[in-house]
Amino acid sequence: MSATREAKILRIQQVAVSLGVVIMLVKFTAYYFTHSNTILTDALEGMVNIVAGSFAVYSLILSSKPKDIDHPYGHGKIEFIATGFEGVLIVLASVLIIAKSVLNFFHPEQIHHLELGVILIIATGIANYVIGYFLERKAKEYNSLVLDADGKHLQSDGYISLAILIGVLVIWFTGIRMLDNLFAIAAGLFISYTGLRLMRRSLSGIMDETDTHIITSIVSYLNTHRRDSWIDIHNMREIQYGSALHVDCHVTLPYYFTLEQTHDEIDRIEKLINQSGQFPVEVFIHPDPCIPICCKLCQLSDCPVRQHPFEKRVEWTFINVTENRKHQLDNE
């Protein structure tokens, strides 16, 4: 990722955190005047946004550092840790919300000035959703995991504010104060689901879980532009380090190719892989020499050492490209 892009992402996240501080203060002001647990749910969620957003800023600063001897793939993995940290904070906030709401069933508090709470919830909910939508769009533009996680979180916060608004209105019009605790518990459960999703995404990145969408997109593009000399591509893997993507694979080429010819073919594949997506990819390709069984799949019409006639073109798929073996016919 270029320095300019890194600076833009960092600046966007810093602005989002600054706006989040203002929104959080407004939410706690609403709770101060109303003493509503439902509104407190929204306020605690705003506090989580600030802590998680601040950690995200730190992770962006760290991930922007260049590769070094100790970190040959860069520092991008910190973005997955930041996403997981945000998820943990969300779950903890939901637990506190649910615990306080259950406690209030036995020790109820008086609720006041709900009309003011309604106005402030509407304002903060709209603000969070707009900021989240903006962050998610920028995340796609810059391929930033941190902006995407924060954007999704803020948009879900906007939906939560809408649900809380409905709950407060119901309490206001019915006068049933006990509903405040029930709505707060429901909101807490929904928030915990958001946190668990972020934690799941963080763990998948740290554990280098295969992104089937990325591999499928690369394979589809290579299928469209494949050359006859590329007998097969196998053992393809992808690893994401924050905004950086690394792909490695094996390619089977005619064994009699010179080193120069082999290099040229590998270079063509690297360029195609980079063209298949929106962002640059670091590619490592290991060349394999063909063996007699490959003749049945090889489309080189002028091969001087062919031992078997060509039988069938094998389409590259996610399955056969990720397998750690040369491609074969179905009956072999």
**Helix count (H) and strand count (E) of the chain?**
9, 3
Q: What are phi and psi of 239, to 5 degrees?
A: -135, 135
Taking only the tens place, the pLDDT of each residue in 97-108 is: 788 778 877 877
If pLDDT is split at 50, 70 and 90, which confidence band does 30 have?
A: confident
If pLDDT is split at 50, 70 and 90, which confidence band does 300 have?
A: very high
| Whole-number CA gyration radius for the chain | 27
β-bridge mates for residue 132, sequence order: none
The answer, yes or no, to whether residue 320 has pLDDT greater than 90, is yes
Helix 37-63 to helix 179-206 angle, to the nearest 10 degrees? 20
pLDDT at res. 74: 78
From CA 307, how far away is CA 292, in angstroms rounded?
6
If pLDDT is split at 50, 70 and 90, which confidence band does 265 have?
A: very high
Q: CB 24: neighbour CB atoms within 10 A?
A: 20
Nearest Cα residue to 1 out of 76, 51, 57, 70: 76
Q: What percentage of the chain has pLDDT greater than the value 70?
A: 97
If pLDDT is split at 50, 70 and 90, which confidence band does 75 have?
A: confident
Q: Which helix (H) or strand (E) holds 142?
A: helix 114-142
* CATH class label, 212-322: alpha beta
Q: What are phi and psi of 251, to 5 degrees?
A: -125, 135
From CA 76, how far away is CA 168, in angstroms rounded?
42
User: Could you tell me the CA-to-CA distances from 243 to 67, 97, 125, 155, 167 in Å, in that order?
Assistant: 13, 34, 29, 22, 39
The answer, yes or no, to whether residue 155 has pLDDT greater than 60, is yes
From CA 294, how far away is CA 31, in angstroms rounded?
71
Q: Which amino acid would we find at residue 292? A: P
Q: CB 202: neighbour CB atoms within 10 A?
A: 22
Nearest Cα residue to 63 out of 17, 13, 19: 13
Domain positions in the chain are: 3-206, 212-322
From CA 240, how far away is CA 187, in angstroms rounded?
33
Higher-pLDDT residue of 179, 282: 282
Where does 3-206 sit in CATH, by number? Answer: 1.20.1510.10
Most confident of 50-54, 121-125, 173-177, 284-288: 284-288
Q: What is the mean pLDDT of residues 240-251?
A: 85
pLDDT at res. 171: 77
Q: What is the mean pLDDT of residues 249-274?
A: 96
pLDDT at res. 287: 96
Q: What is the mean pLDDT of residues 277-294?
A: 89
How many residues can be counted in the chain?
332
> What value does the mean pLDDT of the chain take?
85
CA-based end-to-end distance of the chain: 44
Taking only the tens place, the pLDDT of each residue in 105-132 is: 787 767 777 788 788 888 888 898 899 8
From CA 137, how far away is CA 157, in angstroms rounded?
17
> For residue 168, what are its two tokens?
């407060």
